[in-house]
Amino acid sequence: MREIIGQQMIMGLSGEELTQEESQFIVENNIGGIILFDRNLKSVEQIHKLITDIQQLRYKLPEKTPLFISVDMEGGRVQRLKEPFTKWPPVKNLGDIDSSNITFQFTRLMGRELKAMGFNLDYAPCVDVLMNPENEVIGDRALSTDPELVAKHSSAMVRGYIKSDVLTCAKHFPGHGYTKVDSHFDLPVDERTLIDLEKQGDLEPFKKVIKARVDMIMTAHIKYPNIDPQFPVTLSPLFITQFLRGALRYRGIIITDDLDMKALTKNFPIDDLPVLALQAGATMLLYCNEPKSPLKAVKNIAKAISDGQLDQDVLRANHDLIIKTKIKKLKNPIEPFSLEKAQQIIGHQEHKDFAQAVGEQKVDAYLNTPQN
């Protein structure tokens, strides 16, 4: 069961190199993937070696399947990879331009640089509809204030990533654009009903990306007391199992936002969080910054299984979905391209020119570019 539990986890690393302790933990627990942040990303050469070292661990894992190597790369404020990587403008510019072709090219080219470095999963697109002008957490991370426009361009973004062989993760279900509280620091509360969410369009982008075959959907740490008075979305069987799986018929991987965020840790016992998320129907658990959290989670999940709180069959089904997704969608080459080839792609002048054109909203020369 330890191997099955570990595959359902994506964890952060401490620094610029993979430590012996981290390597041992990943192998012994069959960890499903890694997320990299600014603290891990200093230079092209260093990132290239780090991801190569991580991905080499797969040969020591039971199924020998690749690890998810993931990152937050949206453009604008959320851009982990700095120069010489291309600097991308915020996606609000894509909504303002309103060309599906430009949006497709945006993520295709961004994905091309990610793929060259060995990243195979991007926590994007952000498909939240900006409904509250005071919402600085989302702000220009949202494509638009118009749900239909967000839905249209979210689909194009997914298609662009797919073209570049990078898996996509739409966030933050069922939408983070209405609240203004930052879930990193406290629990946002949204008083609307499910009918309100439907009528006001929060769900339209998620319906669209599901049709576009998005690979993952990330849950939001938001509480809707008039829908589920007990749990925020990440811990809610009503939202995840009944609604996302049931009503919306989503069959891919459902991943939590970081379980160490204060929206959850200030309101629920930390040891209970991974168990509650899995009980709610999550497929994968995300741990970003606290180095001791993944080990605690593995132990707490194992205890919940032995105590009968978690069904082994549910965890086996999660494990099987993750492995099948990796086998089907993580395409060769799994490791980064050769350093020389990667350096030719990263910050390519074509990419920089395109990013600048989108940033300045002067894209006439690109409007009829073939989607290939």
Cα torsion through 329, 6, 121, 241, rounded to 10: 80
CA 14 – CA 40 distance, rounded (Å): 7
Structure tokens at 257: 């936002």
Separation in Å, CA 334 to CA 157, 234, 371: 22, 30, 24
> DSSP secondary structure string, 101-119?
HHHHHHHHHHHHHHHHTT-
pLDDT value at residue 14? 95
Spot the catalytic one: 202, 215, 228, 257: 257
pLDDT reading at 370 higher than 80: no
Q: pLDDT for 186-240, tens place per residue?
A: 999 999 999 999 999 999 999 999 999 999 999 999 999 999 999 999 999 999 9
What is the model's pLDDT at position 182? 86
Q: How far is residue 24's CA from residue 164's CA, in Å, rounded to a whole number? A: 32
> With contact defined as beta carbons under 8 Å apart, do 193 and 227 qualify?
yes
Q: Cα(304)–Cα(133) distance, rounded to whole angstroms?
A: 42
Question: Are the beta carbons of 131 and 178 closer than 8 angstroms?
Answer: yes
Question: Which residue spans within the chain are E strands per DSSP?
Answer: 9-12, 33-36, 68-71, 73-75, 78-79, 121-122, 167-173, 216-219, 253-258, 284-287
The model's pLDDT over 129-175, given as tens digits with 9 standing for 90+, comes to 999 988 888 999 999 999 999 999 999 999 999 999 999 999 999 99
pLDDT at 244: 97
Domain map of the chain by residue range?
Answer: 2-354
Average pLDDT for 11-24 = 97
Integer Cα distance of 263 and 155 in angstroms:
29
For residue 224, the SS3 value is coil
The partner residues of 167 in beta bridges, in order of sequence, read: 121
- Token pair for 88: 């991308």
Active site residue 348: no
Residue 172, preceding peptide bond in cis (omega within 30° of 0): yes
Per-residue pLDDT for 104 more than 80? yes
User: CA 191 to CA 179: how far, in whole Å?
Assistant: 10
| Percent of residues, the chain, with pLDDT higher than 70 | 99
Half-sphere exposure of 209 (CA within 13 A, CB side): 35
pTM for the model? 0.96
Confidence of residue 119 (pLDDT cuts 50, 70, 90): very high
Q: What is the pLDDT of residue 297?
A: 97
Q: How many residues does the chain have?
A: 372
User: How many percent of the chain have pLDDT more than 90?
Assistant: 93
Give the chain's radius of gyration (CA, Å): 20
Closest CA to 111 of 131, 88, 144: 88
User: 184, 271, 311, 320: which one is catalytic?
Assistant: 184
The predicted structure's pLDDT at residue 372: 60
pLDDT the model gives residue 371:
67
Fold classified for 2-354: TIM Barrel (3.20.20)
The per-residue pLDDT for 137 is 85
Active-site residue flag, 128: no
DSSP-assigned letters across all residues of 297-355: HHHHHHHHHHTTSS-HHHHHHHHHHHHHHHHHH-PSP-SPPPHHHHHHHTT-HHHHHHH
